[in-house]
Structure formats: C-alpha cells, structure tokens
C-alpha cells in the first residue's frame, strides 16, 4: 500500500513528537513512523537508576510542561515515558508503530519512504531516529579475544546484571559516571576514562546546559563567535548519585588501557586489571543508515546541514542528533526550537506559509 502525506517524520521519540507538534500547528499533514512498539523512544531502554539531569519543568517539549515526579527533583526515565505517551495522545499526533523505515529515496518531486509495512510518499522528510540504536565501541586491540562479557550502555540495566563479578566501566561522560556510581558500592569496580573526568560545578544542573545552548544560539544568530557546544562546559552533570559516590571517594577514574587481554585490560606502562565484564559507556553514533540511498553522508558519519536542513537535499531535515543539528537539540527542552525551525522551513518550501 502506498500513502501520500506532506511530511514523513522518521522516529517517534521526543524529537519526532516535537516535529509532529509544530508541523500540525502549521497545518501540514504528517505521519510519524516509529520502529518501537510503544511510545517513549530511547527512554524505554535506559538503566533503572537513570535520573534526568534537569528538574521536570526544564525537561519539557513545546506546548506542555513536564509535570514534576512526586518525591523526585530529577525525574526517572519511566516518568519521561509517561510524559511522552501523554504528549502524543494530547496533541493527537499521527504516530504509526511499529514501523521501521528501511530507506529514503528520491522519487521525482517527492521522497519515497520504504518501510517494513508499505511505502510512503512525502514532499519532505524529517529524520529523528536518535542515536541509541547505533551504540559505539572503540576499536581496542584484543577486544575479540576477551573471555568475559562485554556490554554497552544500552544493554546495562542494574547492578544485578553483574553481581559478584569484576567490572570495568569505560567512559568519562554522563553514562559512564552514572553507571560507575551505580556499581560503586557493591561491585568490584574499575572506572576507566580517556582523560580526567570533568564535572559541571555542583551548584548548577542541566539547566545551565540549556542557558549555554541559548547563548550559543544567540551568538550564532548574531554572527558572533561560536561559544562552543554544551560539552564545552564539562561532560558530567553531578546528579545526586554521582555526587554521593564521588564525595565518598568511590569514583576514582583510572587512565585508559591500551589493549584487552583474555582476562582483563593492560596498559603500555605494564599495569593490568582483571575483569569479568566490560561495560562500554563510549557513546553513540547518529542512526542514519535509512538515509544512505540519498548519498549525503559527510565526515564522521554525519550529514552536512545548515540548521536542520541537509545541504545536499533541501527536502530533508535532521532533528535531535546533537549540537550539529541545533544547540542542545538532543535534549528534551532543547529540541523544541530546531523542531519549530524545521517545520517552518518545510512549510516555506511547500508554499504553505
Ligand atoms: P530517541 O529517543 O532515540 O528516539 C528515536 C526513535 O526513532 C526511537 O523510537 C527509535 O526506535 C526510532 N527509530 C530509529 N530508527 C528508526 C527507523 N529506521 N525507522 C523508524 N523508527 C526508527 N536529555 C535531556 O533532556 N535530559 C537528560 O537528563 C538526558 N539524559 C541523558 C542520559 C543519557 C545516558 C543519554 C545517552 C542521553 C540523555 N539525554 C538527556 C539526551 C536525549 O534526551 C536522549 O538521548 C533522547 O532519547 C533523544 O531523543 P530522540 O527522539 O532524538 O531519539
């Protein structure tokens, strides 16, 4: 079956919902295609103890404030799932699931979106597929010969997963710090980071990231010097669990290793550590394989953009993958603005406004 709409949005996480909200406000007919069977995007796949790094009111999509979670300053992932579920119902967003997009192709004046349940034709496409389906693990010599278990952030749930085993957590970002803090009390833990961990000052939380992103946006709009992405502030937000473990002296990072042995890790200086489990908290790459037929990919696996618009295909916008598609666009509160800009640009392209 082939269906035709103004805009297909690929991905029904927070970015896809923010896009749907703004497209509908502009009177554009859209379809949001999401591979997951239920609402919530990647928030359905996090570890149990994850807490947002901002209070609820600073974690909201356009139009509707996230309500506070009773008893928690920093909401958990389940609270975000509930909020996103309510959001798409409240705004009657046309989300179709589970629908996995296999490829986007040029088809004369339209774009053809091939899925596992039929074909969609659209005048424009917004890709909002996030990064969680594309975990990244660095190439370290010896990795394949490791006898123990290797997990990535996406596969870790709670200390129960690794109970009684020697664990190495690799990564100095928020996921590395939070998972290390999760394991710091009852697990034989080694935390390894490529460089000394950089904490955001304790008296500020994720709100500062958004203030910084706003300042950056303003600087870019006014042609002033780029103030740098949010990572320039420091990588780790000292959420309470991280702060507690760090202040208890349980979060001492060790330098990165040079190779993996069958039983652990080794450094060039001769130091070693045994491990039964290695948890790679080494980030993600944008999930863009469905756009490969368009031939747009540039350096570092990214598609060159101006704002959210793909430079090589003006009918395609990319939303939510990171600072390269708009300051703080890969956050709940930050995606609203680039979503609005993408919807407006598409409306202009289609001659709707
Ligand atoms: P996702 O939530 O990943 O949604 C993408 C959707 O697209 C998914 O449902 C996926 O199934 C679907 N999809 C993928 N490929 C296809 C395809 N080919 N066809 C159809 N559908 C597809 N942000 C904050 O604001 N506050 C925080 O505290 C915060 N904490 C974070 C902590 C961690 C550890 C991480 C990694 C991120 C955090 N973020 C936080 C960042 C960000 O908010 C999340 O990563 C968020 O999930 C990104 O939303 P998204 O909609 O862009 O992508």
Section 262-276 average pLDDT: 96
Choose one of 41, 127, 289 to mutate for the ligand 1 pocket test, by most ligand atoms within 8 angstroms of C-beta: 41
| pLDDT number for residue 255 | 95
Ligand 1, atom 43: closest residue by C-alpha: 331
The CA distances from residue 312 to 81, 129, 217, 294, in Å, are: 34, 19, 23, 9
pLDDT bin (cut points 50, 70, 90) of residue 229 is: low
Locate CATH 3.50.50.60 in the chain.
2-133+284-349, 143-199+235-280
Does domain 143-199+235-280 correspond to CATH entry 3.90.1150.10?
Answer: no
How close is the Cα of 263 to the center of ligand 1, in Å?
Answer: 34
Please choose from 21, 35, 337 the residue to mutate so as to test ligand 1's pocket, defined by most ligand atoms within 8 A of CB: 35
**Which residue of 132, 204, 326 sits with most ligand 1 atoms within 8 Å of its CB, as the best mutation to test the pocket?**
132
202 or 350: which leads in pLDDT: 350
CA of 14 to the centre of ligand 1 (A): 7
pLDDT at residue 225, as a whole number:
65
CA of 202 to the centre of ligand 1 (A): 26
Write the pLDDT tens digit of every residue in 304-348. Answer: 999 999 999 999 999 999 989 988 899 999 999 999 999 999 999
- What percent of the chain has pLDDT above 90? 80
pTM of the model: 0.93
Of 201 and 43, the structure prediction assigns the larger pLDDT to 43
In this prediction, residue 353 carries a pLDDT of 74
What was the pLDDT predicted at 344?
98
Q: Is the CB of 190 under 6 A from ligand 1?
A: no
Residue of minimum CA distance from atom 38 in ligand 1: 331
- What percent of the chain has a predicted confidence (pLDDT) above 70? 92
State mean pLDDT over 238-249: 92
Q: Is the CB of 9 under 6 A from ligand 1?
A: no
Contact 237 CB / ligand 1 (< 6 Å) = no
Query: Which option is the CATH number for 2-133+284-349: 3.40.50.2300, 1.20.120.1730, 3.40.640.10, 3.50.50.60?
Result: 3.50.50.60
- pLDDT exceeds 80 at position 204: no
């Amino acid at each position: 079956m082939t269906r035709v709409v103004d805009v297909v949005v690929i991905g029904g996480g927070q970015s896809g919902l923010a896009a749907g909200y703004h497209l509908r406000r502009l009177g554009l007919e859209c379809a949001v295609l999401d591979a997951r069977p239920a609402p919530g995007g990647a928030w359905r796949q996090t570890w149990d103890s994850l807490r947002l790094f901002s209070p609820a009111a600073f974690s909201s999509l356009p139009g509707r404030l996230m309500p506070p979670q009773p008893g928690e300053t920093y909401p958990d992932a389940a609270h975000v799932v509930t909020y996103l579920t309510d959001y798409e119902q409240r705004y009657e967003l046309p989300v179709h699931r589970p629908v996995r997009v296999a490829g986007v192709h040029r088809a004369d004046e339209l774009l053809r979106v091939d899925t596992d349940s039929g074909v969609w034709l659209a005048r424009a496409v917004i890709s909002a597929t996030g990064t969680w389906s594309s975990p990244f693990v660095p190439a370290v010599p010896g990795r394949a010969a490791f006898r123990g278990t290797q997990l990535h952030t996406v596969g870790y749930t709670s200390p129960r997963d690794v109970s009684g085993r020697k664990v190495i957590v690799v990564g100095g970002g928020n996921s590395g710090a939070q998972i290390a803090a999760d394991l710091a009390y009852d697990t034989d833990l080694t935390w390894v980071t490529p460089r000394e961990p950089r904490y955001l000052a304790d008296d500020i939380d994720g709100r500062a990231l958004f203030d910084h992103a706003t300042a950056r946006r303003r600087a870019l709009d006014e042609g002033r010097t780029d103030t740098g992405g949010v990572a320039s502030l420091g990588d780790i937000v000292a959420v309470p669990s991280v702060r507690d473990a760090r202040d208890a002296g349980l979060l001492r990072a060790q330098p990165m290793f040079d190779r993996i042995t069958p039983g652990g890790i080794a450094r060039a200086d001769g130091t070693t550590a045994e491990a039964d489990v290695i948890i790679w908290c080494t980030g993600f790459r944008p999930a863009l394989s469905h756009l490969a037929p368009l031939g747009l990919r540039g350096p570092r696996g990214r598609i060159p953009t101006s704002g959210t618009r793909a430079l090589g295909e003006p009918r395609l916008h990319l939303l939510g993958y990171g600072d390269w598609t708009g300051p703080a666009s890969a956050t709940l509160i930050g995606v609203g603005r680039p979503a609005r800009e993408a919807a407006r640009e598409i409306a202009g392209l289609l001659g709707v406004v």
